[in-house]
Structures are given as structure tokens and as C-alpha cells.
């Protein structure tokens, strides 16, 4: 089998969750050397032990610039370069109406989903420029393309899409590609919380996806892998819905 990521050093944030973990497994199957990170140090250590292949990692708080910088310093010390990154770390916030959302909740959601992605993209591009380029994939959401009930999450994911396009535009001629995946309802991670809601609500939400089903984490992982590989070498600034047709309905 042709391993499309053979020898490439790839960072995965939010690596211990549903989509993150499955993506790590898939990237390893494609020959990548992984650096994994998440908030929980014990979970990161356990993931490194469970995954079979070239894997290293450390814990990092995506909301803390110093913590993110320390994680990248460790990555640099271990591998000396970075070829690809999947910025997957993020959190949901339920359906809190705008007038009921306090500032602390707004800032928490923006910090982890948008500011954390910014901090990582900044460091990733710096590392990639040193070694001639690379590919970055940000995890946005269908709510980065459409409106959602939670104002902070919707704003943060729209921000991730804007950040993706801006970085892609500025660094395209320096061989750094930046794209985003925009998953719909996925039976993993935050999607499991949606699937645990009352059955009538779940059925209504699933029905908004024309394929009439939830997606699987593996379907996201394969799209991320393609965007990280040379198979997508002429693709940058793209926002890729993985949503069973949600955004075209």
C-alpha cells in the first residue's frame, strides 16, 4: 500500500478525543511520524503507549501561550521540523441564547476554539517555513459555514474559517498550505453529546443532513490525511464540509 505521509512529521492537537484519536491512528497507517498533544497529560501518555508507531507527545493548554510555546519547543527538540498539523482541539458549549451567555462563557469558548487555533497556526507556520513548507488542517465545523444556536461557538468556528483563508493567502507562495475541515454531526467526541439528546431532537437534527445519518470519525480522518498529503498539493484556503450534504441543502 502506498503510504501517502511516509516520513512526514505531523502534529495533532486534541489528539485523545474521538476524531483526534481516530485521525492519529489513520495518519500512522499512512506512514506519518506523530506528535500528539491534549490538555490531560495522563491521557496523552496513555495514547502514546497505545498507538503503534513513531509517536511522541506532551500536554498543552491551548488557551495558554506559554504552554503552547513549550509544547512546540518540545516538538522541535524531538523532530527538528514540522511537515503537517491537524489543529483539532476545541470544545462545545450547548445551546445558550446570546442574551443569556455571560462574558466568561463567551471567552472560554472563543479561547479554546479560535485563539488556541491561532496560537498553533502561528507556531506551525514558523516551523514549516524553516524546512521549506508544509500543510495545516484546521478543524472548523458546519457552524463555521452556517449559523448555529450558540453564538460563541458559531463565532469561533467562523473565525477559524477566516483564519484559515487568511493564512492560506499570505503563505501560499512560500509552500505552506492551510485548509479546514468542517464536519457535520459525527458519532465521536462532541457529536456523541448531540446523539445523547432526546430521540426526537436527534432525529430532527440528523434529518437536516441529506444523507440522513451521522458521519464517522474515520471519514473525517481520511479527509484530513488527504489534505496533509501531496495528493492535495494544489489545494489551499479550502473549507471542506464533511456533512452528508448539510451545507448544500
Q: Domain ranges in the chain? A: 9-242
The pLDDT, as a whole number, for residue 91 is 85
Any idea which fold 9-242 has?
A: Rossmann fold (3.40.50)
The pLDDT, as a whole number, for residue 52 is 80
What is the per-residue DSSP string for the chain? ---TTTT-EEEEESTTSHHHHHHHHHHHHTTPEEEEEES-HHHHHHHHHHS-SSEEEEE--TT-HHHHHHHHHHHHHHHS---EEEE----------GGG--HHHHHHHHIIIIIHHHHHHHHHHHHHHHTT-EEEEEE--GGGTS--S-HHHHHHHHHHHHHHHHHHHHHGGGTEEEEEEEE-SBSSTHHHHHHTS-HHHHHHHHHTSTT-S-B-HHHHHHHHHHHHSGGGTT--S-EEEESTTGGG-
Q: Going residue by residue through the chain (249 aa), what tens digit of pLDDT does each one get? A: 579 999 999 999 999 989 999 999 999 999 999 999 999 999 999 999 999 878 999 999 999 999 999 999 999 999 999 999 999 999 887 778 899 999 999 999 999 999 999 999 999 999 999 999 999 999 999 999 998 888 999 999 999 999 999 999 999 999 999 999 999 988 877 765 665 667 777 777 778 888 888 889 999 999 999 999 999 999 999 999 999 998 887
pTM above 0.85, yes or no: yes
Among candidate residues 35, 79, 153, 246, the one labeled active-site is: 153
Q: Is 35 one of the annotated active-site residues of the chain? A: no
The pLDDT, as a whole number, for residue 205 is 73
Amino acid at each position: 500500500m502506498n503510504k501517502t505521509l511516509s516520513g512526514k512529521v505531523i502534529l495533532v492537537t486534541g489528539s485523545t478525543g474521538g476524531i483526534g484519536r481516530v485521525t492519529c491512528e489513520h495518519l500512522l497507517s499512512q506512514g506519518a511520524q506523530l506528535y500528539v498533544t491534549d490538555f490531560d497529560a495522563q491521557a496523552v501518555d496513555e495514547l502514546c503507549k497505545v498507538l503503534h508507531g513513531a509517536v511522541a507527545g506532551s500536554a498543552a493548554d491551548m488557551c495558554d501561550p506559554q504552554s503552547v510555546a513549550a509544547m512546540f519547543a518540545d516538538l522541535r527538540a524531538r523532530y527538528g521540523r514540522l511537515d503537517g498539523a491537524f489543529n483539532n482541539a476545541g470544545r462545545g458549549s450547548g445551546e445558550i441564547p446570546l442574551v443569556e451567555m455571560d462574558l466568561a462563557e463567551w471567552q472560554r469558548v472563543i479561547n479554546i476554539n479560535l485563539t488556541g487555533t491561532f496560537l498553533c497556526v502561528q507556531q506551525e507556520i514558523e516551523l514549516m517555513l524553516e524546512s521549506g513548507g508544509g500543510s495545516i488542517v484546521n478543524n472548523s465545523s458546519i457552524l463555521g459555514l452556517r449559523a448555529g444556536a450558540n453564538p460563541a461557538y458559531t463565532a469561533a468556528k467562523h473565525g477559524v474559517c477566516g483564519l484559515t483563508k487568511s493564512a492560506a493567502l499570505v503563505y501560499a507562495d512560500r509552500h505552506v498550505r492551510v485548509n479546514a475541515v468542517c464536519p457535520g454531526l459525527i458519532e465521536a467526541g462532541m457529536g456523541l453529546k448531540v446523539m445523547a439528546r432526546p430521540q426526537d431532537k436527534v432525529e430532527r437534527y440528523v434529518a437536516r443532513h441529506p444523507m440522513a445519518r451521522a458521519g464517522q470519525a474515520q471519514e473525517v480522518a481520511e479527509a484530513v490525511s488527504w489534505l496533509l498529503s501531496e495528493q492535495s498539493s494544489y489545494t489551499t484556503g479550502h473549507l471542506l464540509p464533511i456533512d452528508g450534504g448539510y451545507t448544500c441543502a
